[in-house]
Amino acid sequence: MTLDRLSEYSAFVETASRAAPDDGYLFEAPRCRFLPEPSDELVAPAGAEVVRAPEGAAVQLPGGARLPISGLGFEKLRAVFAQLPCSYSRLTIELGLQTATFIEQAFSRVLFAPAAIAELEAELPSLEIVRFPGSPYEVVRAYWRNLCAVRRRLGERELPANGAELRALLLELHELLLVGEADANGRSSFYLPASLLGRKRPQPGTFYDAPTGLERRGAETILTSGARVSVPLLGGFNYWQLLAESVGDEGALADERSLQVAGLALGQVVSARSEDEAQSRPWFLPPRPLHDAHFEALLAELRAARQAELRRDVPAALAALGAFHWRFVRMHALPSGNQSLSMSFVNAALRRLLGLGIPHLLLDQLALRFELAAYQRLFGRAARAWSAPWPNAAERLRHLVRMRNELNDFVSAVANAGSLLEARALITSPRWGWGPTAASTEARALITTNTHGARLALVGDEAAGIG
């Protein structure tokens, strides 16, 4: 990357960081993040009509839904819709300074860019680059475009021959994720991660080697510097207790835990606070320093996954991919994008193995708390429950969004249960997915094993060949 391009990216990060963040770390709020570009063809739904409304003007849809549009009068709004379909650049000529407020209200609701979405969706389905299934318009366009470049690069490369080559590949992919390809058109390819560290260190293509600074002050531990990841029990204690029981790893709930494999440190959970926080909370601290052995072990899991894939040994491949993901996110070698890049490797392999990739879900949060063997079982459940095939991409999207909504309801019910006994009873409740055609809700929540409707919770993961 040239110094000029790095300078441009740094300026982009500085400007973007001044704005109040609209999203949390999980990007769970359903809102439009995909922005139109000048060459995009914009269209309205068939039958959409501009009508007068008490507040001025609105867009009426054939099904009865109505979207009021503020800031534009009836005649102006009707003139705008008379232009459709047209390019975004043509629309800006019609609207001038009113373009931004109109796009903010209308885009992804009554105004769409289907060709732009379809182009990206055909190369890399949006479901494979987000935590939770939703509308493609919820995905930041630069993030999507850059991950397409990452996936292409992975497809072009052979497996690294050694740890040094893997290091070089990770730096190359990190630069692609944040800055995009060198011949891309300026800032439209720049991406700003949600993580605070990514904003503080706008350095694409670099590792983050700094150890986490800790100080003991009486009974408290204070975080003074370095990398850390917040690891609350998202979904509530009851849900995590059921997860832990299902894989025999109740240590995952602890506020203090250090893990290693074959003598290689792989991070720890601590209860601590930063200088500007009033209360301690659980944090994951990645291992530092990272040694050649960390990268060699990571590469060994990737090789094992590829060998199992070539043998068409699905259980072995899922186990190796789970181990690869577990090591990658716990190493946390990069200042940002660790989950996105690790899942790029994983989903590229799952597409070859199962024909489909999966959403990211909260897999990184699970990996940062569970021991390796337990996490491999959870990962295997996720791969099977969330990779259900459907006749076409649109049907699969609708199905996975429905799965997401049912999952949210289920986890909320577990969280609100009056006791663990009540929470456990929900697992066998007919309300949560005894149907014969789809993975049950508790399987989607990773509490039980269920491969596309074959209920296996009572016989365990081993019967499904998962771990």
Most distant CA pair in the chain, distance: 72
CB count in 10 Å sphere of residue 127: 24
Model confidence at 53: pLDDT above 70: yes
94 close to 76: Cβ distance less than 8 angstroms: no
**pLDDT for residue 175:** 96
CB-side neighbour CA atoms (13 Å) of 434: 6
Peptide bond into 133 cis (omega under 30): no
Tokens 């609701």 correspond to 109
Banded model confidence at residue 25, pLDDT cuts 50, 70, 90: low
CB count in 10 Å sphere of residue 22: 10
pTM: 0.91
**The token pair that represents 100 in the structure block:** 């931004």
Peptide bond into 289 cis (omega under 30): yes
**pLDDT for residue 21:** 63
Calculate the alpha carbon distances from 339 to 118, 198, 310, 369 in Å.
25, 13, 25, 15
Question: Who has greater pLDDT, 343 or 465?
Answer: 343
245: closest CA among 447, 454, 467?
447
**The token pair that represents 171 in the structure block:** 């730096």
198 close to 337: Cβ distance less than 8 angstroms: yes
* Helix, strand, coil percentages in the chain from 3-state DSSP, rounded to 5: 50, 15, 35
Phi-psi sector, 435: left (phi>0), alpha (psi -120 to 50), beta: beta
- The residue-averaged pLDDT of 144-159 equals 96
For residue 173, which phi and psi values (nearest 5 degrees)?
Answer: -70, -35
Q: What is the distance between the alpha carbons of residues 424 and 130, in angstroms, rounded to a whole number?
A: 29
**pLDDT for residue 433:** 52
pLDDT in tens, 428-460: 776 665 443 344 666 667 887 644 332 222 223
Model confidence at 156: pLDDT above 60: yes
Lowest average pLDDT, out of 208-217, 291-300, 334-343, 365-374, goes to 208-217
E strands within 88-186?
Answer: none
Tokens 């569970």 correspond to 370
Banded model confidence at residue 195, pLDDT cuts 50, 70, 90: confident
Mean pLDDT, all residues of the chain: 88
pLDDT in tens, 101-114: 999 999 999 999 99
Calculate the alpha carbon distances from 298 to 164, 167, 267, 320 in Å.
12, 10, 14, 10
Residues 203-231, buried b or exposed e (16+ Cβ, 10 A)?
bbbebbeeebebeeeeeebbbeebbbbeb
Lowest average pLDDT, out of 161-170, 306-315, 447-456, goes to 447-456
Q: What is the distance between the alpha carbons of residues 84 and 87, in angstroms, rounded to a whole number?
A: 8
**The token pair that represents 455 in the structure block:** 């209920």
233: closest CA among 262, 267, 269, 209?
269
Helix (H, G, I), strand (E, B) or coil at 51: strand
